[in-house]
Structure 1
């Protein structure tokens, strides 16, 4: 989860516009979509712009996502 949040914070992630969004990092789909769905469900990440259902758009951190990353040491797994 932390690695996924870090990738989003580094502007390397996209997500699909849907109620269960898929996450892509560096253009490749994440192998742990359950965690990707949780990140969106817990409002740690969000789409940076509106898009059509299923469309990939840039992903961004929410205020809660930024706060979580700030609370965890950079070298934590």
Structure 2
């Protein structure tokens, strides 16, 4: 992912850092914030593939889990 994050991507990372998000355990994850599905699937997947976001629990494939930032994700928000 580019060093420059969009405002939306930063907002998504802040929501995850605040414990307000869930992510699916899959190769192409989906994100919910405050219980609502995030419609920007492309950014969600970019954040996950860049290693910035991950599920807290590795449930079954496609299952929802609380989301957390990786150390790299936390560093981008610092």
TM over 0.5: yes
Q: Which residue of 2 aligns with 1:51?
A: 59
Distance 1:31 1:16 in 2: 14
Q: CA RMSD in A?
A: 0.5
Across the two proteins, how many residue pairs are aligned to each other? Answer: 70
For residues 27 and 54 of structure 1, the distance between their equivalents in structure 2, rounded to whole angstroms, comes to: 16
Q: Map 1:1-77 onto structure 2 (within 5 A).
A: 1-70=9-78
TM-score by length of 1: 0.89
Q: Which runs of 5+ in 2 are unaligned?
A: 1-8
Distance 2:14 2:32 in 1: 13
Runs in 1 of length 4+ with deviation above 3 angstroms? Answer: none
Name stretches of at least 5 consecutive residues in structure 1 with no aligned partner.
Answer: 71-77
Using structure 2 for the length normalisation, give the TM-score: 0.88
Q: Which whole-Å deviations, capped at 9, do the CAs of 1:12-46 have from their partners, x for residues lacking one? A: 00001100000110111101010000010000001
